[in-house]
Amino acid sequence: TGRLIILGIETSCDETAAAVVVRDGDGRGEIRADVVLSQLDEHSVYGGVVPEIAARAHVEALDTLVQEALAKAGVGLRDIDAVAATAGPGLIGGLIVGLMTGKAIARAAAKPLYAINHLEGHALTARLTDNVAFPYLMLLVSGGHTQLVLVRGVGDYQRWGTTIDDALGEAFDKTAKLLGLPYPGGPAVERAAKSGNEKRFSFPRPLVGEARLDFSFSGLKTAVRQAAEATAPVSEQDIADICASFQRAIARTMDDRIGRGLARFNAEFPGLEEAPALVVAGGVAANQALRGALQMLCDRHGFRFIAPPHHLCTDNAAMIAWAGLERLAHGFPADDLSVSPRARWP
Ligand code: KG4
Ligand code: ZN
């Protein structure tokens, strides 16, 4: 295939986003425009995402963002080869807005439509940023997902592990809330932890030592609550110590869980041409304590550790556009305009 160009749309949570991405004949990607409007301010007073507010905000922002992305890329609808829009999983109101907009544009411009699984967008981002070859391992850690996935090819994924209760980002958010820190909790916990003593509290390390590759974080939240109650009234130093100890427990837990995943990968794929790769995605991938732990783990196992830039780890439309381009380039058929959004789509 030659050079392909696509318009991408993402509306599955609280980010309204549009992007224009190009894929050259050698499979290399180039982001020509990538615009994101975060609704953070609108939700932060509620301490979380409010689905109805999110859906309405997508309606208000999306058409302007699409125009902005096309203008930035210097292309018109007639220049693009296809339209890609997130069809799930996520909040159904937002998905309806994005997918219907994508369908309307595809129909009006007579272009094929790709209805993209948001998780596939995260999974393939490392090929856009780093041209990583299949197969590789992907760790997705966001507010909604915690998954270790074997990426064998476009559309060819095997979930090796998932959380049996809270997502990792959720654990950060709930911990922050318990400690009276602002939403979203991840950055606030990381900031507080900087001046904390990580050895003061010994928090649980769920599922460590077990052969299965799943995760569990709800017990950690309970332990944080107990620590906060035991030290009440909590001082700023107590909060810092709890946050530092919390991050340490997570780093140790992930070292064990992901370490098992790397060992399994090496056993299943011996003698790859390139060194094997672990790629991360999702908002929690911004966390330096987690990154440090994963980097050391990868060094020990001979893996390349690939962390795309932060704005491509969190929700964005460039990854949706890229997933569409990969599907198009690998000969996957476009979706019919009757395709429905799916709140749940593993
Ligand atoms: O991928 P993302 O932006 O949105 C989705 O959930 O889809 O991830 C947001 C999550 C939130 O739970 C937030 O607290 C967490 O990522 N997060 C962090 C950090 N930055 C964001 N968690 C830990 N450390 C951070 N620096
Ligand atoms: Zn996401």
> Which ligand minimizes its atom distance to the CA of 283?
1
Distance 314 CA to ligand 2 centre (A): 6
Mutate to test the pocket of ligand 1, among 191, 314, 319, 320 (most ligand atoms within 8 A of CB): 314
Distance 69 CA to ligand 2 centre (A): 20
Give the C-alpha separation, 179 to 247, whole Å. Answer: 14
Report the pLDDT value the prediction gives residue 183, as an integer from 0 to 100.
Answer: 87
Q: Would you say 325 and 28 are in contact if contact means Cβ atoms under 8 Å apart?
A: no
Nearest atom, ligand 1, residue 281 CA: 1
Backbone angles phi, psi at 47, to 5 degrees: 75, 20
Question: Coil, strand or helix: which one is 292?
Answer: helix
Q: What is the pTM of this model?
A: 0.94
Residue with tokens 């953070």: 40
> Which ligand minimizes its atom distance to the CA of 38?
1
Mean pLDDT (10-residue bins), the chain, 346 residues? 95 95 96 92 82 91 96 98 97 97 98 98 97 97 95 98 96 96 94 98 93 95 95 95 98 97 97 95 95 98 96 95 98 98 94
Report the pLDDT value the prediction gives residue 112, as an integer from 0 to 100.
Answer: 98
Report the pLDDT value the prediction gives residue 45, as an integer from 0 to 100.
Answer: 78
In order of their start, the domains of the chain are: 4-128+315-329 (3.30.420.40), 143-311 (3.30.420.40)
The response to whether residue 186 sits with its C-beta less than 6 Å from ligand 1 reads yes
Nearest CA to ligand 1 atom 23: 186
State how far Cα 214 lies from the chain centre: 18
> Which ligand minimizes its atom distance to the CA of 169?
1
Backbone angles phi, psi at 138, to 5 degrees: -125, 130
Strands (E), the chain: 4-10, 15-23, 29-38, 82-88, 113-117, 136-141, 146-153, 156-162, 277-281, 304-306
Spatial CB neighbours of 236, under 8 Å, sequence gap ≥ 6: none
The response to whether residue 204 sits with its C-beta less than 6 Å from ligand 1 reads no
The response to whether residue 121 sits with its C-beta less than 6 Å from ligand 1 reads no
As for the ipTM of the complex, it is: 0.98
Q: Would you say 143 and 315 are in contact if contact means Cβ atoms under 8 Å apart?
A: no
Backbone angles phi, psi at 171, to 5 degrees: -60, -40
Which of 165, 191, 161, 158 is CA-nearest to residue 176? 191
Task: Give 280's strand partners.
Answer: 139
Report the pLDDT value the prediction gives residue 297, as an integer from 0 to 100.
Answer: 98
Spatial CB neighbours of 180, under 8 Å, sequence gap ≥ 6: 239
**What are the distances in angstroms from CA 88 to CA 92, 99, 234, 344?**
8, 9, 41, 7
Report the pLDDT value the prediction gives residue 40, as an integer from 0 to 100.
Answer: 79
Report the pLDDT value the prediction gives residue 49, as an integer from 0 to 100.
Answer: 85
What single DSSP character describes residue 285?
G
